[in-house]
Amino acid sequence: MGFVPLFPDFKPITIDDRRGIIDILRSNWPGTSELTFTNLFIWRRHYGLYWCLYRDCLCVIGRENAGPDFAMAPVGPSGRLEAGIAVLEWLRETKGVPAPAIERADEGLVREASRSAHLLAEEKREHFDYVYRTQELISLAGNKLRSKRNKVHQFIRSYGSYTYEELSEGHIEAALDLHEKWCRFKRCEEDLNLLGEWDATREILNNYRELEVAGAVIILDGQVKAFTLGEPLPGDAALIHIEKADPSVPGLYQLINQQFCARRWNDVTFINREQDLGLPGLREAKLSYNPDHYVRKYSITLKG
């Protein structure tokens, strides 16, 4: 890592920051999906993310759409709450944010904040990460996952053979093309959430080697019809960043999810598939896979 910005001199996140930021995150990861370098990097434009160090803590600020600046939970070996309060006060006093908040804060930071008379924490259900048991996503056994199992069987009956391949340089153009078609079908340009995901997907595909993420594709009739990307998390888990499939092919989403877990992540216990953003359709889809538990997240604000 080159230049290291010190609080309050925040700088934009770049790929060159990866090694130094990863060292901090992996050693002190608070358990939330947002705080991986990959997510910080691929969403940096959508959220306008900047970073710096406050003593030993990584501090990140951003802005969602036209909303006020916000902070993310500081990450470091100690002094997280001190760093968080410093950023909140800086946002209020220097940036003029009337009610600054630490968004998507983890439970560990909330426990620290509960001991302060100056902070208020509020649970944010729309930001909870959905965490599943890997073996359940592979076997799709039981009544709760019967519909997923049937979708995979329907795909096999309809299309017969398919090719599963690990993502490589030769797949990138086809995956980008598939996602462009998906976005035209979903009218991404009319939805800010989908527009942000569109950009994040391009970023992760174009930088997948530098980010050292794992990926896979499903090929039908010589064409990439589905792709997915993820990475290992500290501990016994993996995180799925992106999963896209041709919407005209029933069962493809269920198939690539199952196959990616079986062929790449069968040695970890849990799969984190991130949050639902409060979107009813996305929440229904994530609940339908029978989550084992959630990673709860909160908003922490300065009282008064």
User: What pLDDT score was predicted for residue 217?
Assistant: 98
User: What pLDDT score was predicted for residue 193?
Assistant: 72
Q: How far is residue 50's CA from residue 129's CA, in Å, rounded to a whole number?
A: 23
User: What pLDDT score was predicted for residue 73?
Assistant: 98
Domain architecture of the chain: domains with CATH: 11-128 (3.40.630.30), 129-274 (3.40.630.30)
Q: How far is residue 187's CA from residue 236's CA, in Å, rounded to a whole number?
A: 37
Q: How far is residue 262's CA from residue 238's CA, in Å, rounded to a whole number?
A: 12
How far are the Cα atoms of 137, 213, 233, 292, 294 from residue 269, in angstroms, in the given order? 11, 19, 11, 11, 14
pTM listed for this prediction: 0.96
How is residue 28 written in tokens? 């002190």
Q: How far is residue 294's CA from residue 107's CA, in Å, rounded to a whole number?
A: 11
pLDDT by position in tens, the chain (length 304): 567 999 999 999 999 999 999 999 999 999 999 999 999 999 999 999 999 999 999 999 999 887 899 999 999 999 999 999 999 999 999 999 999 999 999 999 999 999 999 999 999 999 999 999 999 999 999 999 999 999 999 999 999 899 999 999 999 999 999 999 988 877 777 776 777 888 999 999 999 999 999 999 999 999 999 999 999 999 999 999 999 999 999 999 999 999 999 999 999 999 999 999 999 999 999 999 999 999 999 999 998 7
How far are the Cα atoms of 22, 30, 74, 75 from residue 25, in angstroms, in the given order? 5, 8, 10, 7
User: What pLDDT score was predicted for residue 232?
Assistant: 98
